[in-house]
Amino acid sequence: MSTTVNTPDPDTLAREDARGLRRELRRRRAALSDARLDAHNAAISGRLLAWLERWQPHCVGAYRGLRGEVDLTALTHALARRGTRIALPVMDTRRPGRMRFHQWRPGDRLCPNGFGIAEPCPEAPRVWRREMQVVLMPLVAFDRDGNRMGMGAGYYDRYFARRRFGIHRPRLIGVAHDLQQVEALPVQPWDVPLDAVVTETGWHVFPRHGQATATLQTPDND
């Protein structure tokens, strides 16, 4: 009598692999000491500030992250002092799985969302996608082709879904530690790739669809 072995389908295996990779990289990120986090935060914020000061976008999307993610608090304060409008993501309580961006200025009150992440309170003015020239994005992992792995909820992929159809504004810049880079990530049709990633040691720029690298010049690749 033969025994039938139930083999998981490829999509199930891919999801399990992604969950395992996400757990491992989050563990590594969480293991960074406070001293290393401070050093990485300073190096990455310095690179971003130098690039943004040269480009001078009038509106930048950023984030308030979890422990282990690169902290952009000092950077956003510095940009705001220079007159840059700062937008932070807000969970859309009326549409589960969706987010939008609202304005933040130094001194503004922040409210915790369902994940315990500080975000602009409901009264903060909304910032529309078309108003932002660049968005700085947290991530769990990135690969050499500019693919991004987030926390798994898909907020950023849904918000920037139009980029899959050739709309290249705003520029999407991943913010990460070097240890978050992997050789290759599993890619789904709805995943939105990055234009570049900045880490504590430098920039990774990913030209796409015939775009010249010059369209996203950074201080490291002049």
8: pLDDT confidence band, cut at 50, 70 and 90? very low
Q: In this structure, what token pair is assigned to residue 78? A: 């510095």
Give the Cα separation of 29 and 201 in Å (integer). Answer: 16
pLDDT in tens, 201-222: 999 999 864 443 444 555 554 4
CB contact at 8 A, 177 and 70 = yes
Mean pLDDT, the chain, rounded, equals 86
- Give me the DSSP letters along 80-116: HHTT-EEEEEEE-TTSTT-EEEEEE-TT--EEE-TTS
Mean pLDDT lowest for which of 2-11, 63-72, 134-143, 145-154?
Answer: 2-11
- pLDDT at residue 5 above 70? no
Whether residue 1 has pLDDT greater than 90: no
Query: What is the per-residue pLDDT for 10?
Result: 41
**Residue 121 scores a pLDDT above 60:** yes
User: Rounded to an integer, what distance in angstroms lies between the CA atom of residue 126 and that of residue 113?
Assistant: 16
The answer on pLDDT for 2 being more than 60 is no
The pLDDT, as a whole number, for residue 208 is 66
pLDDT over 90 (residue 20): no
Interval 140-158: pLDDT, tens: 999 999 999 988 788 999 9
Which pLDDT score, from 0 to 100, does residue 210 have?
Answer: 40
What pLDDT band is residue 166 in, cutting at 50, 70 and 90? low
What CATH class does 11-208 carry? Answer: alpha beta
Does residue 12 have a pLDDT over 90? no
Indicate the helix (H) or strand (E) that contains 36: helix 34-55
Give the pLDDT confidence score for residue 152 in this predicted structure: 72
Say if residue 68's pLDDT is above 60. Answer: yes
Residues with Cβ within 8 Å of 19's Cβ and at least 6 positions away in sequence, in order, are 152
- Number of H helices and number of E strands within the chain? 4, 13
For the residues of 168-200, what is the DSSP string, one character each?
--SEEEEE--GGGEES-----TT----SEEEET
3-state helix, strand, coil in the chain (%, to 5): 30, 20, 45
User: Among residues of the chain, what percentage have pLDDT more than 70?
Assistant: 84
Q: What global pTM score does this model have?
A: 0.86
Whether pLDDT at 181 is above 50: yes
Distance, in Å, from the CA atom of 43 to the CA atom of 198, rounded to the nearest integer, reads 10
What are the sequence ranges of the domains in the chain? 11-208
| Residue 172: pLDDT over 90 | yes
pLDDT of residue 157: 92
Structure tokens at 95: 């549409």
Pairing of strands 126-127, 110-112: unpaired
Sheet containing 181-182: give its strands across: 148-149, 141-143, 181-182
What secondary structure letter does DSSP report for 222? -
